[in-house]
Chains A and B, each alone.
Chain A
Amino acid sequence: MTAARRIVLDGQPLVYQPGDTVAVAVIRSGGHPAHGGTICLAGDCANCLAEVDGVAYVRTCQTAARPGLVVRRHPTASAPPLRDAQQTDMANRPPGRYVPVLRTEADLVVIGGGDSGAAATESGERAGRKVTLLDAQAGIEVVAIYAGPTVIARTAEGMAHIHAREIIVATGAAELQAVCPGNTLAGLVTRRAAQELHARGVDLGVTVAIGSAPQGVPCTSLAGSLRRIEGEGRVSAVITTDAEGRAESSTPCDTLVLGLGHSPRDALARMSDDLPVSVVGPAAAAHALPAAPRSGVVCPCMGIDVEDLADVWQRGFHDLELVKRASLAGTGTCQGSVCLPHVRAFIAERSGQTPEPFTARPASRQITLAEAAAGFHPDPFRRTALHDEHVALGARMDRFGGWWRPWHYGDHIAEYWAVREGVSLGDVSTLGKLVVSGPDAVEFLERLYPMNVADIRVGRSRYALLLNERGHLIDDGMVVRQAETRFVLTFTSAGAGHAEMWARDWAETWRMRVHVLDRTMSLGAINVTGPLAGRLLERVGLPTLPRFLEHVEADICGVPCHVMRLSFTGEVSFELHHAVDRSIELWRALMAEGRDLGISPHGLQALQGLRLEKGHVIVGMDSELDSTPRRLGMEWAVRMDKPEFVGRPALERTAQLAENRRLVGLTMPGRAPLEGSPIWSEEQIVGHVSSSFASPLLGQAVMLGWLKRLPLPQSIEVDGRAASLSQPPFYDPEGSRARA
């Protein structure tokens, strides 16, 4: 006994016959795969789309039925649901289907395996060319041609990306569908579809045909013109008129066959201007346009009817491309395959000129997002070695400067207080770290940076701006002297990659005898910060603490570290740079040793507030593309008495110009305004807030912002509230806490 072959349609089993597609199986049962509309069974229209095995917009006429296939018809009045749209976890990849890409090359690609495609293939092979035939009937469906040229095809194994020298489009012609009242009913089929259904033994009931009658299908051919189709959900009668268009006659039927002519299936050729693409066979033939539509749905995909087109025309959109955009006809899933000839006929009747078809764009067939994205790789975001530690501690991870970083661990205010009052760990592994070594190292850095380098003693470090030739800030960090001719340079997390190239380029340009080694991803870095940070480090391997801006080599918790004492938070801080494979060991040991001190980690959200209280800028957040040290109020970091450094000529020149904007400190009571908020003065916008934070310690909002009106206005408002200019740092202006 053979088990019945069944698919599941809308939750109910549906028996199918061998060789049936889903659409044929549904029609065989008396139904319609998409509730209504002409069935072409050629993949040209959107009238049989349904959700198949969880994938929406699948052409069921091109989908073979197989046991257990789950088919859900789309809703009649809305789009099918997006099942994965509720995935919001930024740190994890949403569930999806992996679609592999098969990359090949070909001399000649022929698209379409019909008579003209077979002839083109044979001709190419006779000429000794390597021909690749892509035939939808064989399961290789081309959906796009891109520059290259590259042909994109869907196959059972995945997406094929074929780099071709030449392409021949031999995709044949689609059958015209009728535009008249009632054309969205079930029971309408094209001539070829009728022939296929009949050949498969599908009972079409009482069948009538308009236009060219289907071969071998028992039916009544109707004379005259189609006026409208009547029925409740399904065709029950066809109304035609005589040759003069006057006398109407009604013919009862179960199925209406439409033999109305053809239109070229040439979308692939229309998306490949200026490429070596030619069209042959029926796809290249000059098919007659249908009569201009009078009423009924023109574009079934978008539900656009003749009245919609008339409205667009009346509003002055007469060019085909504009009619398309204004009406949305042709923008649906079939990409104009059904409506394009009718819209062209509509315009031709009104303008007296037949417009060329509109431009086609990928994809010419319905593909899934996974298929569209196949072979595409988004930019990878790096993880520090401590990533999993952060996640285990409950961190909310987010992407900053090319890295996944902890934004907070649940309570950024508690994290803030841990830094201000106790001891806290921050993962700063993402900072750029460059080693510069060589006999010309000092001269190289003197030229690269605007501050003095030669007088930095071994074992000391100095804050440095990095300027471009225009004197604009491009990055900042520390210059750390390890030996007479060896330095470590640090940069911002986001700027490290560019800074390395910048340093290498200048070393080459100046022909300096220096070596440059980027250790950004080789070294982890943990910032131990807070008034109790020193006490913790004394316990774990640093009996003599380095002074502010000093650095030492030491084993901390048994892990060799380069310990740099500096401060971004405003409190005592030690950055522990170490081999990246020891990060977890070091982090856990510090957390354990500091438990009685109340140690906890802090994320970027807390850090941004802490540094803002100190008035420290974040490059790219508080600086603009043309921020000079003067505009930033950081002229103290520039030594114009140096004879040469990158940006010096520009700074000298612009120093003569009147100052027209400045980064300033602002305070105001209450909550912190949104970063980016405009700054108002006398009812005019005079700047914007670049950073803001409601300071728990100071009890007010502190901000950095750009004022673009100088002299500085007397009264300013932010977020509808009065704000005051205030010289940063807002917290510990003497810097005594960081130096303690």
Chain B
Amino acid sequence: MPVLETLAARRLVASPAALDAAQWSEGTLVLRVAADEALLIGGTEMELADEHAIVVAETGFKGAWLGREELVDRVVPHMEWPLPAARPVFVQGLIAGVPAKLWLAEDRSLLLCAAAYAHELADRLR
């Protein structure tokens, strides 16, 4: 199992409409964790029409990039919910009983969770 490492990210809370219309610089991976919240990995610029938005640097998540086989062999057996067929797609739920998130692309996936849970997730996926 790859080591879960701290993700340098930004966290953003804004109105859902503003998030829907936001523009992100190239290379930004936008994980929409809630209607009013996004986790941004990579990228530096954004256009957001919400003057009261909360934007903070975020180091409270840890993650690991997985190949397709690692996902199927190491992670999926610990999930009680089916993965959607669409790609790319972002999903959230319990993995091995730990609150976690998955961003699934065609050829790779990002598994992430709050840093406070990372030891449990890594231990349970070992």
Residues of A within 8 A of B (CB): 93, 100-103, 375-385, 387, 403, 435, 437-439, 485-486, 513-517, 519, 521-523, 579-582
Contacts and interface: CB of A to CB of B under 8 A. Distances in A.
A380 B52 contact: no
A380 B14 CA distance: 30
A438 B119 contact: no
Contact of B60 (A383, A438, A513, A523): A523
Contacts of B116: 382-384, 403, 521, 580
Determine the main DSSP class of B at the interface with A. Answer: mixed
A517 B60 contact: no
A517 B57 CA distance: 12
B59 interface: yes
Given A515-B52, A517-B56, A380 B98 contact: yes
B54 A515 contact: yes
22 contacts: A93-B123, A100-B77, A103-B80, A375-B80, A380-B120, A380-B121, A381-B120, A382-B114, A382-B117, A383-B119, A435-B13, A435-B54, A435-B56, A437-B52, A486-B54, A517-B54, A517-B56, A519-B60, A522-B60, A579-B59, A581-B115, A582-B59
Interface in B1-46: 6, 11, 13-15, 36-37
A438 B54 CA distance: 9
A403 to B, nearest CB: 8
B93 interface: no
A546 B96 CA distance: 45
Contacts of B123: 93
Contacts, number: 84
Contacts of A438: 52
A375 B78 CA distance: 7
A435 B60 CA distance: 15
B68 interface: no
Most chain B beta-carbon contacts within 10 A, residue among A93, A403, A522? A522
Nearest to B9: A522
Contacts of A486: 54
Contacts of A435: 13, 54, 56
A576 B78 CA distance: 37
A46 to B, nearest CB: 32
Interface of B: 6, 11, 13-15, 36-37, 52-54, 56-60, 77-78, 80, 94, 96-99, 114-117, 119-121, 123-124
A519 B56 contact: yes
Given A100-B77, A517-B54, A580-B59, A377 B96 contact: yes
Contact of B59 (A379, A387, A522): A522
Most chain A beta-carbon contacts within 10 A, residue among B60, B78, B98, B114? B60
B60 A437 contact: no
Contacts of B94: 377
Nearest to A376: B97
B103 to A, nearest CB: 19
Nearest to B95: A377
Contacts of B120: 380-382
Contacts of A100: 77
Contact of A513 (B37, B52, B98, B114): B52
B60 to A, nearest CB: 3
Nearest to B118: A383
Contact of A580 (B14, B36, B115): B115
A93 B124 CA distance: 11
Given A101-B77, A381-B120, A522-B58, A517 B97 contact: no
Contacts of A519: 56, 60
A502 B36 CA distance: 16
Contacts of A379: 97
A102 B80 CA distance: 10
A515 to B, nearest CB: 4
Contacts of A380: 97-99, 117, 120-121
B11 to A, nearest CB: 7
Given A102-B77, A517-B56, A580-B60, A522 B11 contact: yes
Contacts of B56: 435, 517, 519, 522
